[in-house]
Amino acid sequence: MAAFKHKEPRQASGLMPRSQMPLRTLMIAMTVMCYLACLAIGALVLITRAVNDWSSDIAGEVTVQIRPTDNIKMSDKLKIIADILDKTAGVSSYKILDTKAGAKLLEPWLGNADILEQLPVPRLVAVSIDQKKLPDFDKLGAELKSQVIGASLDTHRRWQAELTRMGTSLVRLGVGVLILITVSAIALVIFASRTALDANRQVVEVLHLVGASDPFIARQVQWQFLKAGLQSGLIGVLVGMATFILLGISSGGPASSGLADASYGLLIGTLEVTSVTYLLFLLVPIVATLLCLVAARLAILRILSNAI
Amino acid sequence: MNRPSPIVSLQNIGLRYGKGREVLRDINLDLEPGSFHFLTGPSGAGKTSLLRLLFLTKKPTRGLISMFGKDMATLSRRNMPKIRRRIGVVFQDFRLLDHLTTYENIALPLRVAGQKPKDYRDNVVELLNWVGLADYADVYPPVLSGGEKQRVAIARAVITQPDLLLADEPTGNVDPAMALRLLRLFAELNKFGTTIVIATHDSHLIAKANRPVLLLNDGQLDYN
């Protein structure tokens, strides 16, 4: 008998041939899914932040509007209003806007400010509210109405409600998009699992015949899907983060305002915002990995249960 | 003296593919532990179909199969691997895994059974030597000849010393000397208690072995 000493390879070969796995296609599709998920999450954070900021801005201020009347001087009306506001608990400060400022507000709709100054434009008082100790708006409105003819209180509640409604709808839309992405990703993994088993039908049959159980065979395949999910998730998130930074930089960077500033601030900004963003972005590869692992395992076990 | 209960029992077995005629009809067969049978018959008589029933890749359209005292009709899918690990199978078309080396192909049943590489290395090496493939341990099946592949397939089937060995034309691709050598390997295994069924057309091999023959003719079984 020939003297023969076999050296065990450092790592035994995988029982499923890797080259026949449709993993590259799955990885590309999963990377796109993770990227889209990242964009949806970023958009959700931006919308939530914007709605919160706008709501708190609106909620922190009310406006007293005074229509000019023939019999009482505007200055007398403003004096009474100032007295009432001084006595009202919960009013932090107020600012009486002069005629020019009032006219300027109407300029976008009515045109030249010089002509507006000659028209009987209502005067406005911007009132800042103590958010911790809100005044009784109904009582304040009634008092202003009874003591000053033509005065009315605008609490911006209608706007606030509209804004909240719009924000909630957009958040629901974002969550809906995330759910669709997840469902599509699950369908992709199931399809890839089926293709992987079809491509390795003979290997699966041999494994069954030498006594491999269905969970054993599923284990041989699922770890490759797990790796594909993790890699796709990481690449998708990195590209997603780069997109938000590029969006910020290309539109003027942090010094600018609007979407550019908000996009930039998602990742490079105050800890309060960035921690939420990074945490949510970190969830993408974790969810992608778990999704690949669980969906592939369940799909494989289901397919194998119909095999010999 | 009580006869030992059969390791395999087939009662009134019938098998048809789709809506075609029955390829196996009224098969009744008891294989006692430690028995050694040849299964022979003309081409198309149903040898491979009968073996498929025995290595559980096909279910009969009628009749009962019992293996190791268990009714296969009621055996749960979860318990199927335990039965299969007691059966060694040699396929006519070898069914080696092309991405695994000769060594890894032979070690496959042990790896599937959860044994550690260091525990089975010596056994695999010994068997590689026995089938004359020691120099091909790290070679992949696509570069092996038909006879070499056949020997790897046989080594994979016997590595676990199964209770039942089913072989479909195991000597079809080897020269007469190697065929006799393999027959000695089967006889050796049989001596240690393995029940053996070899499907073959090789009348010389059957004559040399001098063992009972199961003759399949047009889907029906005769003892010879």
State whether B109 and A202 contact (CB < 8 Å). no
CB contact, 8 Å: A206 with chain B?
Answer: yes
Strands B62-67 and B213-217, sheet pairing: unpaired
Residue of B nearest to A210 (CA): B109
Q: What is the DSSP letter of B135?
A: G
| B97 vs B221, residue with greater confidence | B97
Q: Is the pLDDT of residue B126 over 70?
A: yes
A64: left (phi over 0), alpha (psi -120 to 50) or beta: beta
**Interface mutation target, options A200, A201, A210, A213, chain B, most CBs of B under 10 Å:** A210
Per-residue pLDDT of chain A in tens (308 residues, 90 and over written 9): 445 566 655 456 688 887 666 788 899 999 999 999 999 998 888 888 888 877 777 778 889 989 888 778 888 888 999 999 998 888 889 998 887 777 777 777 777 666 766 777 788 899 998 878 888 888 988 998 898 888 888 888 788 888 888 888 998 999 999 999 999 999 999 999 999 888 888 999 999 999 999 999 999 888 889 999 999 999 999 999 888 888 877 766 555 556 666 766 777 767 677 788 888 999 999 999 999 999 999 999 999 988 76
Asked if B128 and A6 come within 8 Å (Cβ–Cβ), the reply is yes
Predicted structure pTM score = 0.76
Q: Is B100 on the interface with A (CB under 8 A)?
A: yes
Could B81 and A212 be called an inter-chain contact, meaning their C-beta atoms sit closer than 8 Å? Answer: yes
Contact list in B for residue A211 (CB cut-off 8 A) is 81-82, 84-85, 109, 112-113
What is chain B's mean pLDDT, rounded? 90
Residues in chain A with CB shorter than 8 Å from the CB of B81 are 208, 211-213, 216
Residue A126: other Cβ atoms inside 10 A: 14
Give me the pLDDT at residue A60, please: 81
Bridge-based pairing of strands B36-40 and A151-154 is: unpaired
Q: Does residue B1 surpass a pLDDT of 60? A: no
Tell me the chain A residues in contact with residue B125 when contact means C-beta distances shorter than 8 Å: 4-6
Q: Is A57 left (phi over 0), alpha (psi -120 to 50) or beta?
A: alpha
Other beta carbons less than 10 A from residue A252's beta carbon: 13
Residue B128 sits at the chain A interface (C-beta within 8 Å): yes
Q: How many CB atoms lie within 10 A of CB A142?
A: 12
DSSP summary character for residue A121: P
Type of residue at A288: A
What ipTM was predicted for this assembly?
Answer: 0.89
B76: burial class by Cβ within 10 Å (0-12, 13-18, 19+)?
Answer: exposed
Whole-number Å distance between alpha carbons of B20 and B5: 34
Identity of the residue numbered B15 = L
pLDDT in tens, B172-194: 877 888 888 888 888 988 998 99
Query: Are A212 and B112 an interchain contact pair (Cβ–Cβ within 8 Å)?
Result: yes
So what's the pLDDT on residue A2?
Answer: 46
Distance of alpha carbon A204 from alpha carbon A31, whole angstroms = 28
What's the CA gap between B163 and B88, in Å, rounded?
Answer: 8
pLDDT band at B156 (very low <50, low <70, confident <90, very high): very high
The span from the CA of B222 to the CA of B224, in Å, is: 6
